[in-house]
Chains A and B, each alone.
Chain A
Amino acid sequence: MTERFVMAVDQGTTSTRCILFDHRGRMVSVTQREHKQHFPKPGWVEHDAVEIWRNLERIAPEALAQAGITLDQVVALGITNQRETTVLWDRRTGEPIGRALVWQDTRTDTLVDEMSRRPDAGIVQERSGLPLATYFSAPRIRWLLDHVPGLDERAARGDVLFGTMESWLIWKLTGGPDGGVHATEVTNASRTLLMNLATLDWDEELISFFGVPRRILPEIRPSMGTYGTARRILPGVRIAAALGDQQAALFGQTCFAPGEAKCTYGTGSFLLLNTGNELVRSTHGLLSTVGYKIGQEPAVYALEGSIAVTGSLVQWFRDRLGIISTAAEIETLARTVDDNGGCYIVPAFSGLFAPYWRSEARGIIVGLTSYITKGHLSRAVLEATGWQTREVVDAMNADSGLALKELKVDGGMTADNLLMQFIADVLDVPVVRPMVAETVSLGAAYAAGLAVGYWPDLEVLRSNWHRAGQWLPNMDARHRDREYGNWRRAVERTFDWIQAPEEE
């Protein structure tokens, strides 16, 4: 019998990757292509959706060739993607309307300020589970409708389609203008500010709040279930699943039970906690979001804590201060001393995200004395990631009433043993690293394979998950409490730094 594989496409912020997985969840081949980041103005970040499509046209056949397999050996395709990035395109020609507006793009800040002053602004948080912020898609759609000449009329006529990246790729793969499927996946839809988190459908009042024409919106589908059969690039392959990238990592880490959580440590870090079929509304600064939805089963919800600056603080240390020459050297330097020497760094570079959401805060280094060395500063850099994780976990425990028992980690920073030990110490729970580092792609593959019966159930996926490393807490409780107190005092000192410009 010929061996069969599942393909995952990971359409990320900097690149698009295509990965094939075998039945035991092991990577068989990986191909990747970066796309250009466009920064036309300060705060603007754009991607070319056509370039991304062309990249997929190249890397998908390459992945098959690298594995030495043919298309008929691919049982299903799962797509995972950068969330909140907004694409509008012409239904007839298939041409995107300008470039895609990326999740990091903050051009909608004034618009969002205006919107949040409206008396009915409260419905946004109430219905979508998310704060009204530039991070999400709906203000970007509004911005495009306001700024692209004639677009409002074209959209009203039904000539324009909206989607996040998975919608764009599914539409293109299933035929584009020639019968393409216009659908979005529920975890992606849950990040638009337009979806009602309880009904999992577009909310008429949110749609009218943002003034988005109903006809441009795709149909919301479960994460797992058939989206259609590819007619281009991978003809005949069933598109069986899609998931937002952080949700895919939750799935790839097999966090299937309420109370299970994962944190992906990259430039920023994203901690997601499975809250089961219960929609938990955060009162502690977290985002309520859909974790995944399998076919017609009830949705599994999640709480998300987003930390803006973790790995990027190490990069700042490397690229701006030049204290280290590679990111990994932060650990070497930090190990030259035994503690932080009383020094704390709070990297509120563009304000603080979860659980504070203070946009006027700015970063600080406190506790400087003539005793402090590069080693102490390096410790403080790593500890900042640990304490920020602790604050998010505390908020999650308070919101969910579930006490975290173990944290599954992935992402580039998990190679740093000192950091992983510190996280275990400050959370006072074991931190575990899985053997497959590519949890985002693996999650998309798992979802697709599950949808077509390649894997029978969640238990089989669980049995594929293996511990590659584990760090156990080993810090005196009084010491931990004292340090946490110091960290929080440091955080308070970042507040109210940016003041409204004075009238001239």
Chain B
Amino acid sequence: MPGSIQSIERSAAILRLMARGSGRLGVGEIAHSLGLARGTTHGILRTLQHVGFVEQDGASGKYQLGAALLHLGTSYLDVNELRSRAINWADALAARSGEAVRIGTVLDGRVLVVHHVFRPDDTLQTLDVGTLLPLHATALGKILLAFDANVAAGRADDGDLEAFSRKTITSRHALSRALAQIREAGWADEVEELTVGEAGVAAPIRGYGGLLVGSIGVSGAVERVCDSKGRPNPALVAHVRDAARAVSRDLGASRW
């Protein structure tokens, strides 16, 4: 068995120490209590603050447990907050790609559309924020299945998947192979799997530590999204991945 990771042990000790008392503690008080160097303690506190587990009081500079700890079970990023943080990048993606943009998160085993930007051609379009889409038949949904273990684990594992068109992936085995490829490639596509004549490309939006918060993607007529071989056009894939990375960086993901 590999040795335990010291900084995680120390983080846990800091959290327990804070949970024991009711007031706020300063860096020095925490360092003394645990016999740690002040610099080490400060570094751990800063990281815990970044992930929302501790909060620093503006006036006194002291630390207390963060609200995020109390809501560990619920989604850590409010969907309306996600929209407001992603809106400029989603607009830029629509302008560059010339296609409609959507951002999705998981709700009850389906994709919840939390943001929608019209295709920039000024044709009549309707906002479909709040719409639920199938996970296995959309690029947005496949990203959520591929990168969030809970989404996959929460699903029934027998019987065929619902078919929306001739190209929908209906076999569970085929779906897991597709998801493995998506994890490898870092993006997903959807070619006439939900609607005949429509295709889409999506990529993951991540928060700190790589935690998945949603997916962002474009969709449009298959002849615009794909090349003659029916593969999504590489320039479009690059635009989607750039936008996903930009939103992720804004949300605190460092590596993406």
Residue ranges of A at the interface with B (Cβ–Cβ < 8 Å): 24, 26-27, 325-332, 412, 414-417, 435-437, 466-471
Q: Would you mind naming 29 contact pairs between A and B with Cβ atoms under 8 Å apart?
A: A24-B95, A27-B92, A325-B67, A328-B81, A328-B84, A329-B78, A329-B80, A331-B80, A332-B80, A415-B83, A415-B84, A415-B87, A416-B80, A417-B80, A435-B94, A435-B117, A435-B120, A437-B88, A437-B91, A466-B95, A466-B118, A467-B118, A467-B120, A468-B94, A468-B118, A468-B120, A469-B116, A469-B127, A470-B126
User: In the complex, A466→B97 CA distance in Å?
Assistant: 13
CB pair A470 B118 closer than 8 Å = yes
Q: Give the residue name and chain of the B residue nearest to A413 (CB).
A: B84
- Residues of B in contact (CB 8 Å), total 25
CB pair A327 B118 closer than 8 Å = no
Q: Which 10 A-B pairs have the closest CB atoms?
A: A466-B120, A415-B84, A328-B80, A328-B81, A331-B80, A328-B84, A468-B117, A415-B87, A435-B91, A326-B81
Tell me the number of A-to-B contacts counted with CB atoms below 8 Å.
Answer: 70
Interface of chain A: mostly helix, strand, loop or mixed: mixed
CB pair A412 B94 closer than 8 Å = no
Query: How distant is A154 from chain B, measured CB to nearest CB, in Å?
Result: 43
Q: Give the residue name and chain of the A residue nearest to B91 (CB).
A: A435
User: In the complex, A27→B84 CA distance in Å?
Assistant: 19
User: In the complex, A467→B118 CA distance in Å?
Assistant: 7
Partner of B81, one of A27, A329, A417, A436: A329
Is B122 an interface position by the 8 A CB rule? yes
Q: Give the residue name and chain of the B residue nearest to A327 (CB).
A: B84
Is B27 an interface position by the 8 A CB rule? no
Within B71-89, which residues are at the interface with A (CB < 8 Å)? 78-81, 83-85, 87-88
Query: Which of B78, B80, B116, B122 has the most chain A CB atoms closer than 10 A to its own CB?
Result: B80
Q: Give the residue name and chain of the B residue nearest to A25 (CB).
A: B95
CB pair B92 A328 closer than 8 Å = no
Q: Give the residue name and chain of the A residue nearest to B66 (CB).
A: A325
Q: Give the residue name and chain of the B residue nearest to A30 (CB).
A: B88
CB pair B95 A435 closer than 8 Å = yes
Partner of A332, one of B79, B85, B118, B122: B79
Query: Which of B92, B122, B126, B127 has the most chain A CB atoms closer than 10 A to its own CB?
Result: B127
CB 8 Å contact bits of B40-80 with A (1 = contact, 0 = none): 00000000000000000000000000010000000000111
- Determine the chain A residues whose CB is within 8 A of the CB of B85 once the complex forms: 328
- Determine the chain B residues whose CB is within 8 A of the CB of A466 once the complex forms: 95, 118, 120-122
User: In the complex, A469→B91 CA distance in Å?
Assistant: 10
CB pair A328 B78 closer than 8 Å = yes
Q: Give the residue name and chain of the B residue nearest to A325 (CB).
A: B67
Query: How distant is A430 from chain B, measured CB to nearest CB, in Å?
Result: 11
- Determine the chain B residues whose CB is within 8 A of the CB of A468 once the complex forms: 91, 94, 117-118, 120
- Determine the chain B residues whose CB is within 8 A of the CB of A414 once the complex forms: 87
A417-B92 contact given A332-B78, A467-B118, A468-B118, CB 8 Å threshold: no
